[in-house]
Chains A and B, each alone.
Chain A
Amino acid sequence: DGGITQSPKYLFRKEGQNVTLSCEQNLNHDAMYWYRQDPGQGLRLIYYSQIVNDFQKGDIAEGYSVSREKKESFPLTVTSAQKNPTAFYLCASSDRVGGYTFGSGTRLTVV
C-alpha cells in the first residue's frame, strides 16, 4: 500500500541537541511538506519541497533544516537554535492536482 511513513512516533530531545525526524513516501509524489502543530492549534508550515534538490522556507523555518536528496525522502532536523521545539510534527506529500496525504506524525518533547 502506498503511503507516508514517519519515524519515530515519539522523540525526546535534551537541551542543546539536534534531532532528525524521518519522512519517507512511496506515492511517487513530487512535493513534500513539513508542518508543526501545537496543542489546540492548526498546522503551520516549516519547509516544503516541490522537486528533488530544491526546498523553500515556510512560515516558521527558523531553527529547522531539511534536505531533499531523493524523491522519496524529506528528513527534518530540529536544531538547538529552535527555542521551543516541543510539538507534533507532520509530514505530507501532494500529487499533481495538489491533494495531500499525511503521515502519522512524530511527537517531539524536550526533556
Chain B
Amino acid sequence: GIQVEQSPPDLILQEGANSTLRCNFSDSVNNLQWFHQNPWGQLINLFYIPSGTKQNGRLSATTVATERYSLLYISSSQTTDSGVYFCAVGANFGNEKLTFGTGTRLTIIP
C-alpha cells in the first residue's frame, strides 16, 4: 500500500510565526487531504488537494503530485492552531479509503 511520511513530527512556535508542514507519499495518488485534530480529538478537514494550490485564510496547501509531496503552510500562527495535523492519501478518485500519516504535532506558545 501507499506509505505516507510527515515531517517534522513535532513543532513548537511562538504565536505569530509561520510554519511549513510536509507530507511525502510513496506512489501516485488521486486523493489527498489535510486534517487538523484539536486537543479534544475532533478531526477537521482543512483541504482536499490532490494537486495544485489552495488557500483558506491563513492556511494554504500545495501538492506536487509528480514529485509525490504536499505542503501545508500556516501563517501568523495563533494558539488555536495547536494540535496535530494529518495528511491522508488515496489512490483513486471519489469515495475512497485513505491512508494516514503519523502527523505533525504543532504547539503554539503565547
CB atoms of A100 and B86 under 8 A apart: no
CB atoms of B45 and A100 under 8 A apart: yes
CB atoms of B102 and A41 under 8 A apart: yes
Cβ contacts A to B, 9 pairs, < 8 Å = A33-B97, A37-B41, A43-B86, A44-B100, A90-B43, A96-B94, A97-B93, A98-B48, A104-B41
Please report B residues at the A interface, Cβ cutoff 8 Å.
1, 31, 33, 35, 40-45, 48, 86, 88, 90, 93-103
A interface SS class:
strand
> A96-B94, A99-B33 in contact; A42/B43 too (CB < 8 A)?
no
Q: Which residues of the partner chain B approach A42 to less than 8 Å between Cβ atoms?
A: 86, 100-103
Q: Which residues of the partner chain A approach B33 to less than 8 Å between Cβ atoms?
A: 98-100
CB atoms of B42 and A102 under 8 A apart: yes
Nearest Cβ in chain B — how far from A105, in angstroms?
A: 5
Nearest Cβ in chain B — how far from A59, in angstroms?
A: 8
Q: Nearest CB to that of A30 among chain B residues?
A: B95
> A43-B86, A98-B31, A98-B90 in contact; A104/B42 too (CB < 8 A)?
yes
Please report A residues at the B interface, Cβ cutoff 8 Å.
29-31, 33, 35, 37, 41-45, 48, 50, 56, 58-59, 88, 90, 92, 94-102, 104-105, 107
CA distance A105 to B96 in the complex (A): 20
Q: Which residues of the partner chain A approach B45 to less than 8 Å between Cβ atoms?
A: 99-102
Q: Which residues of the partner chain B approach A101 to less than 8 Å between Cβ atoms?
A: 45
Q: Nearest CB to that of B86 among chain A residues?
A: A42
Q: Which residues of the partner chain B approach A95 to less than 8 Å between Cβ atoms?
A: 95
Nearest Cβ in chain B — how far from A84, in angstroms?
A: 19
CA distance A37 to B31 in the complex (A): 21
The 8 A-B residue pairs with the shortest CB-CB distance, nearest first, are A31-B95, A102-B43, A42-B100, A43-B100, A42-B102, A99-B48, A98-B31, A105-B41
Nearest Cβ in chain B — how far from A89, in angstroms?
A: 10
CA distance A79 to B86 in the complex (A): 29
CA distance A104 to B42 in the complex (A): 5
